[in-house]
Amino acid sequence: MSQSNRLTGGLIDRSVSVNFSFNGKNMQGFQGDTLASALLANGQRLVGRSFKYHRPRGIFSAGSEEPNALVQLRKGAAQEPNTRATMAELFDGLEATSQNHRGSLERDFMALTDLFAPFLSAGFYYKTFMWPKAFWERVYEPIIRSSAGLGRLSMQPDPDVYDHGYMHCDLLIIGAGPAGLAAALAAGRSGAQVVVADEDFLPGGRLNAETYAVEDMAGADWAAQAWAELQAMDNVRCMTRTTVYGAYDHGIYGALERRTDHLAASEGRPRQVLWRVYSRRAVLSAGATERSIAFPMNDRPGVMLAGAVRTYVNRYGVAPGKRVAVFTNNDDGLRTAADLKAQGVEVTGIIDARKGESLATTWGRKGLTAVGTASGRSIEADCLAVSGGWSPNVHLTCHQRGRPDWREDIAAFVPGADLPPGMSVAGAANGAMTLAAALKEGHAAACAALGDLGLSPAAGDAPKAEDETFDIKAFWHAPGKGRAWVDLQNDVTAKDVKLARTEGYRSVELLKRYTTLGMATDQGKTSNMLGLAVLAEASGKSIPDTGTTIFRPPYSPVAMGAFAGRARGKDFRPNRLTPSHKWAEEQSATFVTTGNWLRAQWFAQAGEKGWRDSVDREVVQTRRSVGICDVTTLGKIDIQGRDAAEFLNRIYSNAFLKLPVGKVRYGLMLREDGICYDDGTTARFSENHFVMTTTTANAVLVFRRMEFARQCLWPDLDVHLISTTDAWAQFAVAGPNARALLGKVVDDLDLSNEGFPFMACAECTVCGGTPGRLFRISFSGELAFEVAVPARYGDAMIRALMQAGEEFGAIPYGTEALGVMRIEKGHAAGNELNGQTTAANLGLGMMVSKKKDSIGSKLSEREEMNRDDGLRLVGLHPVDRNDMLNAGAHFVELDDHHPDMFSDQGYMTSVAWSPELSHSIGLGFVKRGKDRIGDIVRAYDPVRGKDTKVEIVSAHHIDPEGVRQRG
């Protein structure tokens, strides 16, 4: 079988033959073929199976509306399911296989389903498969699932990369058919910034498929010439293989450019680029889609849209059949016959519905052999060209909920008045069904858009063409016995539509959902209009009274990978690195993700068997001597202005007005609804200069809220905010030797307890003149400082600190040890500040000043938030010291044999193994917790099969008096 159906002529390059395979069978085509045209050239009519009945399916169209000819393209990880053969350009080595069958395509075991079709009418599955109950997941659903679906994913990571791009233009022209080209020429010649995009690899639209002339040239030649002119213009971006798939708010369009799908391999180049086009105006010139007619047994391979037949004959030089019959309700059918005859293809009959003729049946199990007319005549045909008229591609006009209008003279919906702002429609998409009209409309639409923008169009008229005739008489559904398909892929027949209506699913939206009409991969492009017409017929109503068909993005399906772009794998989100990251890597630190930050979690040393060894050592050594931790990730906000103190006093729930210069204060921040939001310390460096720290997680949010308060609530307070999180590298230096260590690093500052007491702060220099800041604050509970230097010195600083600490055995510690020490000390962190807890819950109720108005103070006074039996933060110790505690356990009473959500006494928030106490410890919230110190309850953890007796203790497991940090 070597291209037995190839004719002469066409827009393919016969000098380049291309080898490909279908279901393992080797075939040849030419450069410029699609997989569909090449399959037809090779006489391959059966290409797939339908969704529900597994009926044989052939190529139905020549464009992106194809419902039948879906194949799996490529092999291995690049396997691509549900690819339309009509959109797949042929390349050398292309491998395609058919899908959705068991056994071979020719002998699909699942085709037995078709025998049971009477029992599988619309929505049958809603009426059965209910008994016995357990059978749904075990029996029925697995059967349904394995027979449903179409293609298969490879289940391996997509090997290709995808890019995102952004474009700005005065005018976006969607579709480069005659209307689009006329628009692009008018706009391009005027000097406007133009983007013109077409989903085909060959611009020209129907000009490439028909035999019309434009400006006294063959239409395809004129298109090529126009495209060349546009490509030569610097102000015009010409894009083929680019589908504008969606119209979004404010002139933003989404477009998908297929860069390497027509090549054997992408070789590292982006496979596709997802463009976001910011347009000032747009012209939609997306043409029209031909529709079929519902007549009995209209689904056989060989039944094809008439326009597609002309495309294959004229553009690809391929005869879709040797003996072709034509069934039409408009002039296109006659044109099809003429084009076929011109190429020497036999036309065995023309059934013109306008003359009252119709088809009553077809024959041919795996491919059409003959059709039977309503008058009882049988006509031999291996291909039937059907034209039920054309539906303008109004899709993008509906993306912002626009509704199309019905036009009786062309029996089609055309764009309504409520277009997306900035969009106009031209050509067949607008219902201008002749070539001359399309050219004129395209030209006029571009000129009007330019006028709107205050640009003057270049002189000149629309390109000229003969106005051919377009006469149509609506004809949707041929009566007769046998199933008449409305949706070819999903196997929805006219009977199904009528049955659904009978059963009460009368709105077109209910109909679609009940029958699955229009839910196939063609998004209803070939089925919605027919279905609506059949419903209208059954209801005895007109089509516009029955409903409309509207569309949502995308215009045609878009690969998930393209939407995701480069944001995958490790690049899914940015990595924020701390100033000591490189140094930490050198120390073989293990890193943990906190938000987008990567922080050192622990620093394993040789001989340590697991993370606990490292963490315990870091805690012990810090508490025994000195440890250093990068705390740069904490949010830092620089606050300046004459009203800075007043501003802080309103942001924090505790008092800040009287914080002395040179001092730091712990501050508690509420949300306006009275729940604890964030905490941290704020240092006052001068009368009008404060530096705030926030938690790592809330750094951005707190800053945003403070800007809100500053700009929207108190716009005249003299205060300014700058986020300096990334500007300063900050290190905690903690442990009994912290002072001695820092004494070697900090220049000329009295670090004695008197000279620089607990909660002191100062601007200073370090390492002989590097600007720095020093804070005496402690998260670990030890004698501790935090030293900050401009971020660019962060790497040098950690090295200087470690070097200075060598004599003390200073060690770096990571977030785990930090967590252990704060739990030992009883400091609340993210697990306790979970957005659901009040200051009272945290034992910080006294910090909410009632003497002033601050964010959240008023609403924190509501009754349910101040119940005596509310949750209180406490510490927990296992009664059996060998038990390990788990965060997330709930607390229940010892004698509670049937605990439920109402006898629940609280929950464990954080746990750690305390090297100091040599057992597991926890923090948690317990109802009336402060009154229950010393009580024993159970840490109930059924999900991990644990139930542990714990004693309620103070949250301050070590040094409750704070002696060490003040030392």
Which residues in the 159-188 window bind another protein by CB under 8 A? 160, 162, 164
In the complex, the smallest distance separating the C-beta of residue 253 from another protein, rounded to whole angstroms, is: 9
Q: Quick one: which of 19, 714, 799, 880 contacts another protein (CB under 8 A)?
A: 714
Which residues inside 502-521 make contact with another protein, applying CB under 8 A? 502-507, 509-510, 513-514, 516, 519, 521
Cβ atoms 320, 5 nearer than 8 A: yes
Q: Does 28 bind another protein (CB under 8 A)?
A: no
Find the part of the chain contacting another protein (CB under 8 A) among 132-140, 538-546, 608-616, 871-879.
132-140
Q: Select from 167, 218, 252, 917 the one that contacts another protein (CB under 8 A).
A: 252
Which strands form 770-775's sheet, in the order they lie side by side? 761-766, 770-775, 784-790, 728-734, 627-630, 811-812
Instruction: Out of 14, 377, 573, 881, point to the residue binding another protein (CB under 8 A).
Output: 573
- The C-alpha angle 133, 139, 140, rounded to 5 degrees, equals 80
Candidates 348-356, 588-596, 734-742, 786-794 — which segment interacts with another protein by CB under 8 A? Answer: 588-596
Compare residues 713 and 963 and give the one whose CB is closer to another protein.
713
Backbone angles phi, psi at 425, to 5 degrees: -125, 140
Sheet containing strand 70-73, strands side by side: 25-31, 13-22, 94-98, 70-73, 80-84
> Cβ closer to another protein: 145 or 609?
145
> Of the ranges 23-31, 531-539, 749-757, 849-857, which one interacts with another protein (CB under 8 A)?
849-857
User: Residue 295: CB partners within 8 Å, gap ≥ 6?
Assistant: 327, 358, 359, 360, 477, 478, 480, 484
Provide, rounded to whole angstroms, the least separation between the CB of residue 638 and another protein: 13
Check binding of 97 to another protein (CB under 8 A): no
Phi, psi of 811 (to 5 degrees): -125, 150
Residue 151 binds to another protein (criterion: CB under 8 A): yes
Smallest distance from another protein to CB 73, Å: 9
- Choose, by CB under 8 A, the member of 28, 79, 681, 948 that binds another protein: 79
Find the part of the chain contacting another protein (CB under 8 A) among 80-88, 204-212, 794-802, 948-956. 80-88
- Closer Cβ to another protein, 151 or 301, answer by number: 151
Which one of the spans 170-178, 341-349, 765-773, 831-839 is the region binding another protein (CB under 8 A)? Answer: 831-839
For residues 315 and 11, is the Cβ–Cβ distance under 8 A? yes
Q: Is 963 in the site for another protein (CB under 8 A)?
A: no
User: Binding to another protein (CB under 8 A): which residues in 345-364?
Assistant: none
Among 553, 641, 662, 736, indicate the residue that binds another protein (CB under 8 A).
553
Beta bridge partners, 349, equal: 325
Is residue 858 near another protein by the rule CB under 8 A? yes
440/512 with CB nearer another protein: 512
Query: Does 544 interact with another protein (rule: CB under 8 A)?
Result: no
CA dihedral 4→10→12→13, nearest 10 degrees, is 90
Helices 815-825 and 611-624: crossing angle in degrees, nearest 10, is: 60
Among 23, 31, 102, 150, binds another protein (CB under 8 A): 150
Establish if 263 lies at the interface with another protein (CB under 8 A): no
Asked if 752 touches another protein (CB under 8 A), the answer is no
The reply to whether 610 sits near another protein by the rule CB under 8 A is: no
Tell me: does residue 203 bind another protein (CB under 8 A).
Answer: no
Q: Does residue 567 interact with another protein by CB under 8 A?
A: yes
The enclosing H or E element of 29 equals strand 25-31
d(CA 921, CA 850): 34
- Residue 40 C-beta: closest distance to another protein, Å: 24
**Distance between CA 585 and CA 205 in Å, rounded?**
58
Does residue 619 sit in helix, strand or coil?
A: helix
- Closest Cα to residue 736, out of 805, 783, 777, 779? 783
Question: In this complex, which beta carbon is closest to another protein, that of residue 753 or of residue 831?
Answer: 831
Coil, strand or helix at 378: strand
The string of DSSP codes covering 292-356 is --B-BTTTSTTEEEHHHHHIIIIIT-B-S-SEEEEEESBHHHHHHHHHHHHTT-EEEEEEEGGGT
Minimum Å gap between C-beta 499 and another protein is: 6
Which helix (H) or strand (E) segment holds residue 684: the answer is strand 676-686
CB contact at 8 A, 352 and 333:
yes
- What is the smallest separation between the CB atom of 930 and another protein, expressed in angstroms? 20
Considering the complex, state which of residue 157 and residue 960 has its C-beta at the smaller distance from another protein.
Answer: 157
Q: Does 109 bind another protein (CB under 8 A)?
A: no
CA 250 – CA 923 distance, rounded (Å): 51
Paired sense of beta strands 323-328 and 383-387, if any: parallel
Cβ–Cβ contacts within 10 Å for residue 701, how many? 15
Q: Closest separation between CB of residue 293 and another protein, Å? A: 23
Binding of another protein at residue 470 (CB under 8 A)? no
State CA 585 to chain mean position distance: 34
x/- map, 922-941, another protein, by CB under 8 A: ------------------xx
Residue 886's contacts (CB-CB under 8 Å, 6 or more residues apart) are: 908, 911, 939, 941, 944, 946
Selected binder of another protein within 51, 227, 656, 808 (CB under 8 A):
51
Stretch touching another protein by CB under 8 A, among 199-207, 213-221, 569-577, 680-688: 569-577
Sole binder of another protein in the list 614, 857, 948, 965 (CB under 8 A): 857
By beta-carbon proximity to another protein, the closer residue of 864 and 961 is 864
Contact indicator for 692, 698 with CB cutoff of 8 Å: no
Residue 114 contacts residue 54 (beta carbons within 8 Å): yes
Token pair listed for 416: 């309504």
Compare residues 156 and 803 and give the one whose CB is closer to another protein: 156
Q: Under rule CB under 8 A, which residues in 358-397 are in contact with another protein?
A: none
Q: Does 795 bind another protein (CB under 8 A)?
A: no
Q: Which is nearer to another protein, 129 or 758 (CB)?
A: 129
Q: Least distance to another protein from the beta carbon of 833, Å?
A: 9
Output the CA–CA distances (angstroms, integers) from residue 419 to 1, 403, 416, 797, in the order listed: 50, 8, 7, 61
278 lies in the binding site for another protein (CB under 8 A): yes
- The smaller minimum CB distance to another protein, of residues 441 and 679, is found at 679
Distance CA 384, CA 113 (A): 26
Q: Which of residues 890-929 bind another protein (CB under 8 A)?
A: 890, 899-902, 904, 907-910
Q: For residues 408 and 707, which CB has a smaller minimum distance to another protein in the complex?
A: 707
596, 602, 603, 605 alpha-carbon torsion, rounded to 10°: -150
Residue with Cβ nearer another protein (572 or 609): 572
Asked whether 135 and 128 are in contact (CB, 8 A), the reply is no
Query: Which residue among 216, 754, 863, 868 contacts another protein (CB under 8 A)?
Result: 863
Contact 884, 945 (CB under 8 A): no
The interface with another protein within residues 631-660 (CB under 8 A) comprises 643, 646
Q: Which of 225, 235, 400, 587 binds another protein (CB under 8 A)?
A: 400
The single residue among 1, 4, 126, 377 that binds another protein, judged by CB under 8 A, is: 126
Tokens standing for residue 443: 């030209």
Minimum distance from CB of 277 to another protein (Å)? Answer: 11
Pairing outcome for strands 303-305 and 383-387: parallel
Q: Is 133 a residue that touches another protein (CB under 8 A)?
A: yes
Closest separation in Å from C-beta 122 to another protein = 9
